[in-house]
Copies of this chain bind each other. A is one copy, B any other.
Amino acid sequence: MYICIVKLEQAIQSTKFKSEVQKAGLNILYTAWWLKTVMSRELKEFGLTHEQYNVLRILKGKHPELMCVKDIACRMIEKSSNVPRIIDRLEIKKLVKRATSEADKRETVISLTQSGVAVLEASTKALNAIYDEIMTISEEDASSINELLEKVRENES
């Protein structure tokens, strides 16, 4: 059973918004929370948190090449993630291994263990299934969202 509250108005019990733009801000925040909740519930079956999964997924992108902490950090969705600490938990679960870089001893290089690869593959399969199940929008609508969100972010000051 998933949390199913379609309308933002119902979700946050509020009907007055200053503008569509402000409502869009709340909608983005709420939808992200909803997505994270659904994904986390699935990942829990594999003993992973959302952030731990993200690190594994990033490592997989270069596997079997090693990656240093800062290269993982700059690929994280949430840039303020404390990557060394997330790696701590993954290391305890023997899903990744740490080593000091030969080339630059300041760097710690991380690699996926075989068990890390296995857990990642299984959890990715489960996540994809959940995505197919809950995100039933069309590719066209998804494209529109991607365009619009990049428009939202295209500002500096």
CB nearest neighbor in B for A157: B133
Counted per complex, copies of this chain come to 2
Within 8 A of B (CB), among A56-90: 61, 74-80
Annotate A117-157 by CB proximity to B: 1 below 8 A, 0 otherwise.
00000000000100101111101111111101111111111
The A interface is mostly helix, strand or loop, or mixed, namely: helix
Residues of B contacting A141 in the complex (Cβ-Cβ under 8 angstroms): 148, 151
Query: Please, how many angstroms separate the alpha-carbon atoms of A22 and B77 in the complex?
Result: 14
B-contacting residues of A (Cβ < 8 Å)?
1-8, 11-14, 18-37, 61, 74-80, 128, 131, 133-137, 139-146, 148-157
* Contact pick for A144, options B3, B8, B144, CB 8 Å: B144
